[in-house]
Structure 1
Amino acid sequence: MLIIEGAQLLKGILEGNVLSIISRGETYGYEILLVLEKYGFNDIYEGTLYPILTRMENKGIVSCRKAKSPLGPKRKYYSITKLGEEYYEDFKKAFKEITSNTNAILNAEEL
């Protein structure tokens, strides 16, 4: 019996969730992790998040600046770029379509 793990499903949408958090204002990695945890994403750790942030920065959808932290060493602060705003809008449209189609199939009495 094949069991689908949540991690496989999450992989494809985590970037969109992270971008959503960043789109609400400049933030840093640990703060993003706290927001994800607040919304039930309890199995996301730095080792998962930081490669996503680096990939997003390389794509040009977020920008990063280093600044002194009030509590210690420098932090990387992330902001959404213009390209990122367009990417985020495309993500939301695609996600809504996919979830709508999936819900229709999952809830169909007949196919």
Structure 2
Amino acid sequence: MASQMTEMLKGTLEGIVLAILAERSAYGYEITTWLRDAGFADIAEGTVYALLVRVEQKGLVDVEKVPSEKGPPRKVYTLNAQGRDQLAEFWRTWSFLAERIEQLHHTNSTTETNEGA
């Protein structure tokens, strides 16, 4: 199951991170910690940082370097207008897919129940 979860998460992680940033600005480690606390225990920091580089390159976030108590400045990511548009598209797509998958699941559950009768 872990492999299937990993594959499904790959396709949705960008939207999940954009949703986090829609709530508040954050830096990479904060995002990773939030994901882990939310039950995504297998998320690697490197995965999140690579994704943040991609969303920055796509122009979906604004980045500000903020001094850190330890080490170099942190890059704090803030969702911008283009990122909000992308997030809205993600939610539309997610809703469409979730409805279709739920219909398929319901149909299969009904079929299995009828076959067992």
Q: Normalized against structure 1, the TM-score is what? A: 0.90
What is the aligned-residue identity percentage?
A: 34
Segments of 5+ residues of structure 1 without an aligned counterpart are none
Q: Within 5 A, what are the aligned runs for 1:7-22?
A: 7-22=6-21
Query: How many residue pairs were aligned?
Result: 107
Cα distance, 1:31 vs. partner?
0.6
What CA distance in whole angstroms lies between the structure 1 residues aligned with 2:42 and 2:86?
A: 25
Identify the structure with the greater helix proportion: 2
What CA distance in whole angstroms lies between the structure 1 residues aligned with 2:49 and 2:29?
A: 10
Runs of 4+ in 1 over 2 A off after TM superposition: none
Q: Within 5 A, what are the aligned runs for 1:40-59?
A: 40-59=39-58
Q: Which amino acid aligns with 1:80?
A: L
Q: Within 5 A, what are the aligned runs for 1:52-71?
A: 52-69=51-68, 71=69
Segments of 5+ residues of structure 2 without an aligned counterpart are 112-117
Deviating more after overlay: 57-66 vs 3-12:
3-12
Q: Normalized against structure 2, the TM-score is what? A: 0.86
User: Which position in structure 2 is the counterpart of 1:72?
Assistant: 70
Q: Within 5 A, what are the aligned runs for 1:28-39?
A: 28-39=27-38
